[in-house]
C-alpha cells in the first residue's frame, strides 16, 4: 500500500512520526506507522529521565526497542533529545555548575556513543528560548550560561560526526522574536564553526493559525547553511471536532506541507503521532485535541487527504 512515506520519498523528502514503546504495542497502530512513515522519533524514550534516571546509570532498553523496530520497518530515526529543561531528573537539576557541566558531557558521550551510526539526527538542545527571544532561564542557562548550547553541539559532534545536529524549538515556525533569536544563534554558530546542521521547527500549531511567514522563515534558515525539518507537527482544535474544523485543519496541514516542500533544504515533516488515539494534546491542553491526520479509530481525516495532495 502507498503511504505518505512513499509520496514523500518520491519528492526527495521524508515523512515521519513520533511514537512510544507503549503505542507500538498496538499492532494496528504500529502497522499504520510502518505504512505511513519512513522516519521515527522516539516520543519519550531518549529523554534524560528515561536514559539516565540516576547518576551514571543508563537505561537504553526502551529506545533500543524503538530503534530496532524502526530498522525493521526501514525507517530512519531522529534522536530526541539530549539537553532539555523538561523530563530531566531532579538529580540533574540539583547539581552545582561544575558537576552539571560534567553530567551534561557524560550524558552526551554515553548516549551518543550508544547510538553512534544508527541515527539520522540528534535534537541536541530542545526549547532553550523564551517566546520574546531571550534565553529560557532553565537550570541549564542559570548554572552554565549561554555557552552550554554550543558546548553540547561540540560534544555531540565529537562522538558522532555522522549524525545531523539540530536545534529544536516551538513557536519558531514563523518569523518573530523567538525565531529571530534562534536565527541569530545559528548564524553565530556558523561563523564560529560550532557544528550545527539543522533547525527543527516543532510546529505544534493551533487551528487556523499557521504563521503566514512559515515558508519565508524556513527559507532564511536554509540560506544560513542549515537544513530545516518540521519535527513535531500537530494542529489542535477545541474538541469536539466538526466538519468545518476538520476542513480548516486540512488547509493548515497543506499550508505547512507546502511551505516545507517549496523550500529545497526542508528535508522532511514529522507529525507528533499519527492518530488522535495517541496524542499528547488532550492531556496537555485540556479541552483540545483531534490534532493528527488519523482519528481515534485510525480512519484518515481530511488532513490526511490534504497531505496526500500536497505531496
Ligand atoms: C511530549 C510527549 O509526547 C509526552 O508523552 C510527554 O508527557 C511530554 O512530552 N515538545 C517536545 C516533545 O519536544 O518532546 C514533547 O513530547 C512535546 C512538546
List the Cα angle 178/275/219 in 5-degree steps: 30
Give exposure, 273-288, as e/b (b: 16+ Cβ within 10 Å).
Answer: bbbbbbbbbeeeeeeb
Name which of 281, 280, 273 is nearest 298 in CA terms.
Answer: 273
Instruction: Give the Cα separation of 4 and 259 in Å (integer).
Output: 17
Question: pLDDT tens digits for 210-264?
Answer: 999 999 999 999 999 999 999 999 999 999 999 999 999 999 999 999 999 999 9
Question: pLDDT tens digits for 288-305?
Answer: 999 999 999 999 999 999
Number of H helices, E strands in the chain: 14, 10
pLDDT higher than 70, residue 99: yes
Instruction: Give the Cα separation of 252 and 259 in Å (integer).
Output: 11
Whether 50 contacts 62, CB under 8 Å: yes
- For ligand 1, atom 7, the nearest C-alpha belongs to 280
Instruction: Give the Cα separation of 16 and 247 in Å (integer).
Output: 22
DSSP assignment letter at 272: S
Whether the complex's predicted ipTM is more than 0.95 is answered with yes
Q: pLDDT value at position 284? A: 98
Whether 235 contacts 288, CB under 8 Å: no
Q: Which atom of ligand 1 is nearest to the CA of 18?
A: 3
CATH code of the region 4-310: 3.20.20.80
Q: pLDDT value at position 184? A: 98
Q: Which long-range contacts (CB under 8 A, 24 or more apart) does 277-283 make?
A: 277/26, 277/29, 278/19, 278/20, 278/23, 278/26, 278/29, 279/234, 280/43, 281/234, 281/236, 282/239
- Domains of the chain, residue spans: 4-310
pLDDT higher than 80, residue 17: yes
Question: pLDDT tens digits for 171-203?
Answer: 999 999 999 999 999 999 999 999 999 999 999
Peptide bond between residue 264 and the one before it cis (omega within 30 degrees of 0): no
Mean pLDDT of the chain: 98
Question: pLDDT tens digits for 42-55?
Answer: 999 999 999 999 99
pLDDT higher than 90, residue 1: no
Residue 280 beta carbon below 6 angstroms from any ligand 1 atom: yes
Question: pLDDT tens digits for 119-141?
Answer: 999 999 999 999 999 999 999 99
Catalytic positions are 232
Q: Count Cβ atoms below 10 Å from residue 165 Cβ, excluding itself.
A: 26
Residue 174 beta carbon below 6 angstroms from any ligand 1 atom: no
Residue 232 beta carbon below 6 angstroms from any ligand 1 atom: yes
Q: pLDDT value at position 265? A: 98
Q: pLDDT value at position 209? A: 98
pLDDT higher than 80, residue 31: yes
Question: pLDDT tens digits for 141-172?
Answer: 999 999 999 999 999 999 999 999 999 999 99
> Which of 47, 202, 272, 279 should be mutated for ligand 1, with most atoms under 8 A from CB?
272
Q: Which residue has the cell 505544534?
A: 204
Q: pLDDT value at position 2? A: 85
Amino acid at each position: 500500500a502507498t503511504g505518505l512515506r512513499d509520496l514523500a520519498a518520491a519528492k526527495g523528502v521524508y515523512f515521519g512520526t513520533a511514537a512510544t514503546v507503549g503505542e507500538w504495542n498496538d499492532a494496528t497502530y504500529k502497522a499504520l506507522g510502518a505504512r505511513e512513515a519512513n522516519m521515527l522519533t522516539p516520543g519519550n524514550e531518549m529523554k534524560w529521565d528515561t536514559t539516565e534516571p540516576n547518576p551514571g546509570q543508563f537505561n537504553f532498553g526502551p529506545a533500543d526497542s524503538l530503534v530496532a523496530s524502526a530498522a525493521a520497518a526501514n525507517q530512519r530515526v531522529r534522536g530526541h533529545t539530549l539537553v532539555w529543561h523538561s523530563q530531566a531528573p531532579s538529580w540533574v537539576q540539583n547539581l552545582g555548575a561544575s558537576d552539571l557541566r560534567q553530567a551534561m558531557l557524560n550524558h552526551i558521550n554515553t548516549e551518543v556513543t550508544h547510538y553512534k551510526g544508527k541515527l539520522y539526527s540528534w535534537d541536541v538542545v530542545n526549547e532553550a528560548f523564551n517566546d520574546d527571544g531571550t534565553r529560557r532561564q532553565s537550570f541549564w542557562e542559570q548554572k552554565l550560561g549561554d555557552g552550554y548550547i554550543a558546548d553540547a553541539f561540540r560534544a555531540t559532534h565529537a562522538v558522532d560526526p555522522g549524525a545531523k545536529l539540530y536545534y529544536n524549538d516551538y513557536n519558531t515556525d514563523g518569523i518573530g522574536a523567538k525565531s529571530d533569536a534562534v536565527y541569530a544563534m545559528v548564524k553565530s554558530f556558523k561563523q564560529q564553526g560550532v557544528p550545527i546542521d539543522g533547525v527543527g521547527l516543532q510546529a505544534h500549531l493551533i487551528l487556523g493559525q499557521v504563521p503566514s511567514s512559515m515558508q519565508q522563515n524556513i527559507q532564511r534558515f536554509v540560506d544560513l547553511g542549515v537544513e530545516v525539518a518540521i519535527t513535531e507537527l500537530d494542529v489542535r482544535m477545541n474538541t469536539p471536532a466538526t466538519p468545518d474544523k476538520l476542513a480548516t485543519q486540512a488547509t493548515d496541514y497543506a499550508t505547512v506541507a507546502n511551505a516545507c516542500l517549496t523550500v529545497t533544504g526542508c528535508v522532511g515533516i514529522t507529525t507528533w503521532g499519527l492518530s488522535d488515539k495517541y496524542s499528547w494534546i488532550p492531556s496537555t491542553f485540556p479541552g483540545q485535541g483531534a490534532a493528527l491526520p488519523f482519528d481515534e479509530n485510525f480512519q484518515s481525516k481530511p488532513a490526511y487527504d490534504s497531505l496526500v495532495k500536497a505531496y
